[in-house]
Each structure stands twice: as C-alpha cells, then as structure tokens.
Amino acid sequence: MQRVTFTELISKMSRMPVEIDAAAYEALVKAAVEVQKTAVEKFGHYQSSYGPFEAWAALAPSTIAQKLKAGSQGDDPLIGHSVHKRSIYPTSLRQSITMQVDKATLTAQVGTNDPLGEWHEYGYEEFNVHYPPRPFLRPALYQKEEWIRQTMKEAIGMGLITWLR
C-alpha cells in the first residue's frame, strides 16, 4: 500500500469533483444519445404497453387513408405528413428529436420543439382533431433507466479510480 501524506491527500481531494464531474458528463452524453436513439426507433411501429405506458392505439382508417393520399405508407404511426398540417417545422417529427447536455449543471434533455411531438406524447383533442397518446420520449427514458443507472455508476467509479491515482 502506498503511503500518502496529508498534503498529497488534500491535493488529490481538491481534484476529485473535477474528475468525477468529467466522468459523469461523458456518461450523461452517452445516456442522452441512447435515449434519443431509442425514441427515434419507435417511429413507424406500434408500441405495446411498457411499464406505465399503454400500448399505442391503432391509426383510424380515415387517418391511414389521408396519410396514403399524402404520400406516406399509411399505417405507420408517427411517420408521414401531418394530416392536419399542424407542424410548423419542415422536417419530420422523427428528425426533430434532439438532445442537449449541460456540462455545468450535469443535466440532459431529449425532446422536440415540434408541437406534434407533445400532441403525440400526451394526446391531443380539440375541435375535430384527435391524437390518442402515442408516447415515444418518456418510454424511451423509462426503457433505458437501468442502463443509465449502470452507466453512471461505472463512470463515477472510473472517476474515483482516476482521482485515487
């Protein structure tokens, strides 16, 4: 066992937060990328129930017909042209899913600024417009929760190991 003086220990301890934060930041970036990827993979496929999230409702035949007319495959949830042209963004909802990681606060966000994302995530009903909930962001996080925990634990452990050297 290597002996460390008190001065050396204090010096090492002053570096600990920086090394652990750096390791946690790298793990947070990996986690955000993984959640984003998982959310994107949900497009075009009906999702069965998962944890607290119910299975997606089938598209209405009228919606499928409108999507086919607009050039979509039809029965492909969350893909294709918005039947009601509510999206104000030129890209598809799938392409609008982004992630941001803040190094200073060690926080991450995966989401979309397209209103269609919120309407599909939580459902939407107004006038004659009805979107049943088809959550894709929250289930992606839920599905990756254990993986994220393990990734963060390993990263912090490696940060401690780096600090102890």
CA 127 to chain centre: 31
Q: For the CA atoms of 74, 80, 84, 86, what is the dihedral angle to 10 degrees? A: 160
pLDDT tens-digit readout, 149-163: 999 888 888 777 776
H helix or E strand, kind and range, residue 125: strand 124-126
State the Cα–Cα distance between residues 142 and 34, nearest whole angstrom: 12
pTM reported for the whole predicted model: 0.77
Cβ neighbours around 143 below 10 Å, total: 19
**pLDDT averaged over every residue in the chain:** 82
Distance between CA 41 and CA 23 in Å, rounded? Answer: 27
